[in-house]
Structure 1
Amino acid sequence: MFELKDLPSYDTLVKMGVEYSNPDVDGLQAWLIWASATSEMLSAFEANLDRTSGLSQTQFFVLILLKRNPDGLSIGTLADGVSVTSQTMTRIIDRMEVAGLCDREQHPQDRRAWLVRLTEHGTEVLGKALPAHYVWVAELMSHFDAQERDVLVRLMLKLNQQGILPKTNGG
Protein backbone atom coordinates (compact mmCIF):
# COMPACT_ATOMS: atom_id res chain seq x y z
CA MET A 1 0.00 0.00 0.00
CA PHE A 2 1.24 3.44 -0.93
CA GLU A 3 0.53 5.71 2.02
CA LEU A 4 1.39 9.19 0.78
CA LYS A 5 -1.80 11.12 -0.01
CA ASP A 6 -0.33 14.62 -0.17
CA LEU A 7 1.88 14.37 -3.26
CA PRO A 8 4.58 17.03 -3.52
CA SER A 9 4.47 19.62 -6.28
CA TYR A 10 6.95 19.45 -9.12
CA ASP A 11 8.74 22.51 -7.68
CA THR A 12 9.13 20.73 -4.35
CA LEU A 13 10.54 17.68 -6.12
CA VAL A 14 13.04 19.90 -7.95
CA LYS A 15 14.15 21.61 -4.71
CA MET A 16 14.52 18.31 -2.87
CA GLY A 17 16.23 16.82 -5.92
CA VAL A 18 18.90 19.52 -5.78
CA GLU A 19 19.31 19.15 -2.01
CA TYR A 20 19.42 15.33 -2.03
CA SER A 21 20.98 14.67 -5.46
CA ASN A 22 18.01 13.20 -7.33
CA PRO A 23 19.21 12.50 -10.91
CA ASP A 24 15.64 12.04 -12.27
CA VAL A 25 13.01 14.41 -10.89
CA ASP A 26 10.64 13.68 -13.81
CA GLY A 27 10.97 9.94 -13.11
CA LEU A 28 10.20 10.49 -9.43
CA GLN A 29 7.12 12.54 -10.27
CA ALA A 30 5.89 9.85 -12.68
CA TRP A 31 6.53 7.15 -10.06
CA LEU A 32 4.67 9.08 -7.35
CA ILE A 33 1.62 9.57 -9.57
CA TRP A 34 1.72 5.90 -10.68
CA ALA A 35 2.12 4.61 -7.11
CA SER A 36 -0.68 6.83 -5.84
CA ALA A 37 -3.05 5.78 -8.64
CA THR A 38 -2.18 2.10 -8.12
CA SER A 39 -2.83 2.39 -4.40
CA GLU A 40 -6.18 4.09 -4.99
CA MET A 41 -7.13 1.45 -7.56
CA LEU A 42 -6.27 -1.41 -5.18
CA SER A 43 -8.22 0.22 -2.35
CA ALA A 44 -11.24 0.56 -4.64
CA PHE A 45 -10.78 -3.07 -5.74
CA GLU A 46 -10.82 -4.24 -2.09
CA ALA A 47 -13.86 -2.07 -1.29
CA ASN A 48 -15.75 -3.41 -4.31
CA LEU A 49 -14.98 -7.01 -3.36
CA ASP A 50 -16.10 -6.43 0.22
CA ARG A 51 -19.29 -4.65 -0.87
CA THR A 52 -20.30 -7.20 -3.52
CA SER A 53 -19.18 -10.47 -1.94
CA GLY A 54 -17.75 -9.89 1.53
CA LEU A 55 -14.41 -11.29 0.35
CA SER A 56 -10.93 -9.91 0.88
CA GLN A 57 -8.59 -9.69 -2.08
CA THR A 58 -6.64 -12.72 -0.81
CA GLN A 59 -9.79 -14.81 -0.32
CA PHE A 60 -10.98 -13.85 -3.81
CA PHE A 61 -7.71 -14.95 -5.40
CA VAL A 62 -7.61 -18.16 -3.35
CA LEU A 63 -11.08 -19.02 -4.65
CA ILE A 64 -9.92 -18.35 -8.21
CA LEU A 65 -6.82 -20.52 -7.74
CA LEU A 66 -8.95 -23.33 -6.32
CA LYS A 67 -11.47 -22.99 -9.17
CA ARG A 68 -8.61 -23.30 -11.67
CA ASN A 69 -7.28 -26.38 -9.84
CA PRO A 70 -10.27 -28.63 -9.01
CA ASP A 71 -8.01 -31.42 -7.70
CA GLY A 72 -6.91 -29.05 -4.95
CA LEU A 73 -3.78 -27.20 -3.97
CA SER A 74 -1.42 -27.35 -1.02
CA ILE A 75 -1.19 -24.51 1.50
CA GLY A 76 2.31 -23.75 0.19
CA THR A 77 1.17 -23.55 -3.42
CA LEU A 78 -1.71 -21.26 -2.45
CA ALA A 79 0.66 -19.10 -0.39
CA ASP A 80 3.02 -18.76 -3.36
CA GLY A 81 0.06 -18.02 -5.63
CA VAL A 82 -1.01 -14.96 -3.64
CA SER A 83 2.39 -13.93 -2.23
CA VAL A 84 1.85 -14.61 1.46
CA THR A 85 3.68 -16.89 3.87
CA SER A 86 2.47 -20.43 4.51
CA GLN A 87 1.58 -19.43 8.08
CA THR A 88 -0.56 -16.57 6.81
CA MET A 89 -2.21 -18.85 4.25
CA THR A 90 -3.00 -21.40 6.97
CA ARG A 91 -4.87 -18.68 8.92
CA ILE A 92 -6.69 -17.57 5.75
CA ILE A 93 -7.73 -21.15 4.94
CA ASP A 94 -8.86 -21.65 8.56
CA ARG A 95 -11.26 -18.70 8.18
CA MET A 96 -12.36 -19.71 4.69
CA GLU A 97 -13.04 -23.26 5.86
CA VAL A 98 -15.19 -21.99 8.74
CA ALA A 99 -17.11 -19.87 6.20
CA GLY A 100 -17.66 -22.97 4.07
CA LEU A 101 -15.71 -21.62 1.09
CA CYS A 102 -13.20 -24.46 0.97
CA ASP A 103 -12.27 -27.66 2.73
CA ARG A 104 -9.03 -29.48 3.29
CA GLU A 105 -7.95 -33.04 3.65
CA GLN A 106 -4.65 -34.78 4.09
CA HIS A 107 -2.61 -35.00 0.94
CA PRO A 108 -2.78 -38.58 -0.39
CA GLN A 109 1.00 -38.78 -1.00
CA ASP A 110 2.21 -36.71 1.97
CA ARG A 111 0.52 -37.21 5.35
CA ARG A 112 2.16 -34.01 6.65
CA ALA A 113 0.55 -31.83 3.95
CA TRP A 114 -3.00 -30.67 3.34
CA LEU A 115 -4.89 -30.40 0.07
CA VAL A 116 -7.37 -27.52 -0.13
CA ARG A 117 -10.39 -27.72 -2.43
CA LEU A 118 -13.21 -25.38 -3.36
CA THR A 119 -16.60 -26.26 -1.87
CA GLU A 120 -19.95 -25.86 -3.57
CA HIS A 121 -20.59 -22.79 -1.41
CA GLY A 122 -17.20 -21.38 -2.43
CA THR A 123 -18.15 -21.90 -6.07
CA GLU A 124 -21.44 -20.05 -5.49
CA VAL A 125 -19.68 -17.13 -3.77
CA LEU A 126 -17.14 -16.92 -6.57
CA GLY A 127 -20.02 -17.07 -9.08
CA LYS A 128 -21.41 -13.89 -7.52
CA ALA A 129 -18.06 -12.17 -6.98
CA LEU A 130 -16.62 -12.59 -10.48
CA PRO A 131 -19.45 -10.93 -12.46
CA ALA A 132 -19.38 -7.93 -10.09
CA HIS A 133 -15.60 -7.78 -10.39
CA TYR A 134 -15.78 -7.93 -14.19
CA VAL A 135 -18.24 -5.01 -14.23
CA TRP A 136 -15.98 -3.01 -11.90
CA VAL A 137 -12.90 -3.68 -14.07
CA ALA A 138 -14.81 -2.84 -17.26
CA GLU A 139 -15.86 0.50 -15.76
CA LEU A 140 -12.31 1.26 -14.61
CA MET A 141 -10.77 0.31 -17.95
CA SER A 142 -13.41 2.21 -19.94
CA HIS A 143 -11.32 5.32 -19.27
CA PHE A 144 -8.64 3.96 -21.64
CA ASP A 145 -8.94 3.36 -25.35
CA ALA A 146 -7.42 0.28 -27.02
CA GLN A 147 -4.15 2.04 -27.78
CA GLU A 148 -3.77 3.29 -24.20
CA ARG A 149 -4.49 -0.20 -22.85
CA ASP A 150 -1.86 -1.63 -25.17
CA VAL A 151 0.71 0.90 -23.95
CA LEU A 152 -0.20 0.20 -20.33
CA VAL A 153 0.18 -3.56 -20.80
CA ARG A 154 3.49 -3.20 -22.64
CA LEU A 155 4.89 -0.92 -19.93
CA MET A 156 3.88 -3.25 -17.09
CA LEU A 157 5.22 -6.30 -18.95
CA LYS A 158 8.47 -4.43 -19.54
CA LEU A 159 8.92 -4.01 -15.80
CA ASN A 160 8.04 -7.63 -15.04
CA GLN A 161 10.06 -9.22 -17.86
CA GLN A 162 13.20 -7.29 -17.09
CA GLY A 163 13.05 -8.32 -13.45
CA ILE A 164 12.88 -4.69 -12.38
CA LEU A 165 10.07 -5.45 -9.96
CA PRO A 166 11.37 -8.00 -7.44
CA LYS A 167 9.10 -10.86 -6.55
CA THR A 168 8.33 -10.81 -2.85
CA ASN A 169 6.71 -13.28 -0.52
CA GLY A 170 5.13 -10.93 1.96
CA GLY A 171 2.79 -11.69 4.80
Structure 2
Amino acid sequence: MVSAPLTADDGKERVRLWLRLLRATRLIEAELREQLKIEFDTTLPRFDVMAALDRAPDGMMMSELSRFLLVSNGNVTGIVDRLVSDGLVARTARDGDRRAFIVKLTEAGTKQFKAMAAAHVRWIDAMLADVDPEEAAHLAGTLRTFQSKWEGGH
Protein backbone atom coordinates (compact mmCIF):
# COMPACT_ATOMS: atom_id res chain seq x y z
CA MET A 1 0.00 0.00 0.00
CA VAL A 2 1.45 3.34 -1.08
CA SER A 3 0.90 6.31 1.23
CA ALA A 4 -0.19 9.62 -0.17
CA PRO A 5 2.41 12.37 0.20
CA LEU A 6 1.98 14.64 3.20
CA THR A 7 0.46 18.03 2.58
CA ALA A 8 0.48 21.30 4.52
CA ASP A 9 -3.13 20.52 5.49
CA ASP A 10 -1.97 17.29 7.19
CA GLY A 11 0.31 19.32 9.41
CA LYS A 12 -2.46 21.80 10.20
CA GLU A 13 -4.82 18.99 11.22
CA ARG A 14 -2.16 17.58 13.54
CA VAL A 15 -1.66 21.02 15.09
CA ARG A 16 -5.44 21.30 15.58
CA LEU A 17 -5.43 17.87 17.22
CA TRP A 18 -2.60 18.93 19.54
CA LEU A 19 -4.42 22.13 20.50
CA ARG A 20 -7.64 20.24 21.23
CA LEU A 21 -5.77 17.68 23.35
CA LEU A 22 -4.01 20.47 25.22
CA ARG A 23 -7.24 22.38 25.84
CA ALA A 24 -9.06 19.25 27.01
CA THR A 25 -6.16 18.37 29.30
CA ARG A 26 -6.08 21.84 30.83
CA LEU A 27 -9.84 21.93 31.39
CA ILE A 28 -9.89 18.48 33.00
CA GLU A 29 -6.81 19.24 35.10
CA ALA A 30 -8.34 22.49 36.37
CA GLU A 31 -11.50 20.66 37.41
CA LEU A 32 -9.49 17.91 39.14
CA ARG A 33 -7.45 20.51 41.03
CA GLU A 34 -10.66 22.19 42.20
CA GLN A 35 -12.33 18.94 43.25
CA LEU A 36 -9.25 17.72 45.15
CA LYS A 37 -9.13 21.04 47.00
CA ILE A 38 -12.85 21.02 47.82
CA GLU A 39 -13.27 17.38 48.81
CA PHE A 40 -9.87 16.51 50.26
CA ASP A 41 -8.12 19.83 50.93
CA THR A 42 -5.19 18.63 48.86
CA THR A 43 -3.38 19.42 45.62
CA LEU A 44 -2.96 17.58 42.35
CA PRO A 45 0.83 17.21 42.84
CA ARG A 46 0.22 15.56 46.26
CA PHE A 47 -2.32 13.25 44.63
CA ASP A 48 0.17 12.39 41.86
CA VAL A 49 2.91 11.53 44.39
CA MET A 50 0.52 9.37 46.40
CA ALA A 51 -0.70 7.66 43.20
CA ALA A 52 2.87 6.80 42.21
CA LEU A 53 3.61 5.44 45.68
CA ASP A 54 0.38 3.43 45.67
CA ARG A 55 1.71 1.60 42.59
CA ALA A 56 4.90 0.72 44.50
CA PRO A 57 3.89 -0.86 47.82
CA ASP A 58 7.55 -1.52 48.70
CA GLY A 59 8.31 2.15 48.18
CA MET A 60 10.36 4.13 45.70
CA MET A 61 13.63 5.96 45.87
CA MET A 62 13.20 9.70 45.66
CA SER A 63 15.05 9.76 42.33
CA GLU A 64 12.73 7.07 40.91
CA LEU A 65 9.72 9.03 42.07
CA SER A 66 10.85 12.24 40.39
CA ARG A 67 11.70 10.36 37.17
CA PHE A 68 8.31 8.63 37.20
CA LEU A 69 6.47 11.92 37.72
CA LEU A 70 8.69 13.81 35.25
CA VAL A 71 9.49 16.53 37.78
CA SER A 72 12.64 17.70 39.52
CA ASN A 73 13.95 16.14 42.73
CA GLY A 74 13.38 19.49 44.44
CA ASN A 75 9.69 19.50 43.56
CA VAL A 76 9.22 15.96 44.84
CA THR A 77 11.20 16.62 48.02
CA GLY A 78 8.93 19.49 49.07
CA ILE A 79 5.78 17.46 48.46
CA VAL A 80 7.16 14.39 50.23
CA ASP A 81 8.28 16.51 53.20
CA ARG A 82 4.70 17.75 53.66
CA LEU A 83 3.24 14.26 53.20
CA VAL A 84 5.67 12.92 55.82
CA SER A 85 4.71 15.66 58.27
CA ASP A 86 1.04 14.82 57.67
CA GLY A 87 1.72 11.13 58.45
CA LEU A 88 0.74 9.96 54.96
CA VAL A 89 4.21 8.94 53.75
CA ALA A 90 7.18 7.34 55.52
CA ARG A 91 10.77 8.05 54.49
CA THR A 92 13.63 5.73 55.38
CA ALA A 93 17.32 5.73 54.51
CA ARG A 94 18.27 3.02 52.03
CA ASP A 95 20.81 0.52 53.34
CA GLY A 96 22.22 3.01 55.81
CA ASP A 97 22.92 5.61 53.11
CA ARG A 98 21.66 8.86 54.62
CA ARG A 99 21.56 10.48 51.18
CA ALA A 100 19.33 7.89 49.49
CA PHE A 101 15.76 7.65 50.77
CA ILE A 102 12.94 5.25 50.05
CA VAL A 103 9.46 6.66 50.48
CA LYS A 104 6.19 4.78 50.75
CA LEU A 105 2.63 5.37 51.80
CA THR A 106 1.77 4.79 55.43
CA GLU A 107 -1.41 2.94 56.35
CA ALA A 108 -3.14 6.32 56.78
CA GLY A 109 -1.74 7.45 53.41
CA THR A 110 -3.02 4.34 51.67
CA LYS A 111 -6.47 4.80 53.20
CA GLN A 112 -6.62 8.47 52.17
CA PHE A 113 -5.32 7.74 48.68
CA LYS A 114 -7.92 5.01 48.10
CA ALA A 115 -10.70 7.51 48.91
CA MET A 116 -9.15 10.14 46.64
CA ALA A 117 -8.60 7.63 43.82
CA ALA A 118 -12.25 6.50 43.94
CA ALA A 119 -13.41 10.12 43.77
CA HIS A 120 -10.92 10.79 40.94
CA VAL A 121 -12.45 7.97 38.88
CA ARG A 122 -15.97 9.37 39.47
CA TRP A 123 -14.90 12.89 38.44
CA ILE A 124 -13.18 11.73 35.26
CA ASP A 125 -16.11 9.47 34.39
CA ALA A 126 -18.52 12.38 34.82
CA MET A 127 -16.39 14.78 32.78
CA LEU A 128 -16.01 12.30 29.91
CA ALA A 129 -19.51 10.81 30.14
CA ASP A 130 -20.32 11.86 26.56
CA VAL A 131 -17.41 9.84 25.16
CA ASP A 132 -18.48 6.34 24.14
CA PRO A 133 -16.42 3.69 26.02
CA GLU A 134 -15.30 2.06 22.75
CA GLU A 135 -14.18 5.44 21.38
CA ALA A 136 -12.36 6.14 24.66
CA ALA A 137 -10.54 2.81 24.35
CA HIS A 138 -9.62 3.58 20.73
CA LEU A 139 -8.31 7.06 21.57
CA ALA A 140 -6.37 5.75 24.55
CA GLY A 141 -4.79 3.08 22.33
CA THR A 142 -3.80 5.67 19.74
CA LEU A 143 -2.23 7.89 22.39
CA ARG A 144 -0.39 4.87 23.86
CA THR A 145 1.21 4.33 20.44
CA PHE A 146 2.47 7.91 20.41
CA GLN A 147 3.69 7.66 23.98
CA SER A 148 5.72 4.52 23.33
CA LYS A 149 7.42 6.22 20.37
CA TRP A 150 8.24 9.35 22.39
CA GLU A 151 9.39 7.56 25.52
CA GLY A 152 11.67 5.37 23.44
CA GLY A 153 13.62 8.47 22.47
CA HIS A 154 12.70 8.22 18.79
TM-score normalised according to structure 2 size: 0.80
CA positional deviation for 1:28: 2.8
CA positional deviation for 1:80: 1.1
Match of 1:90 among 77, 86, 94: 77
Whether the 8 Å contact between 1:61 and 1:82 is mirrored in structure 2 is yes
RMSD: 2.4
Match of 2:86 among 99, 111, 131: 99
Match of 2:38 among 40, 51, 57: 51
> Residue 165 and residue 43 in structure 1: after superposition, are their counterparts in 2 closer, same or farther (change >3 A)?
farther
* Distance of 1:141 and 1:29 partners within structure 2: 20
Q: What stretches of structure 2 of length at least 5 have no aligned partner?
A: 1-7
CA positional deviation for 1:91: 1.1
CA positional deviation for 1:115: 1.5
Whether the 8 Å contact between 1:159 and 1:165 is mirrored in structure 2 is no
Greater fraction of residues in strand: 2
Q: Which residue of 1 aligns with 2:3?
A: none
Task: Please list the CA deviations of residues 90-124 of structure 1 after superposition, one character each: whole Å capped at 9, or x if unmatched.
Answer: 11111111122112121125332112121222122
Q: Which residue of 2 aligns with 1:163?
A: 150
Query: May I ask how many residue pairs the two structures share in their alignment?
Result: 146
* Distance of 2:73 and 2:39 partners within structure 1: 28
Q: Does 1:139 align with 2:126?
A: yes
Q: Which residue of 2 aligns with 1:153?
A: 140
Off by >3 Å, runs of 4+ in structure 1: 21-27
Q: What stretches of structure 1 of length at least 5 have no aligned partner?
A: 1-20, 167-171
Whether the 8 Å contact between 1:58 and 1:82 is mirrored in structure 2 is no
> Residue 164 and residue 25 in structure 1: after superposition, are their counterparts in 2 closer, same or farther (change >3 A)?
farther
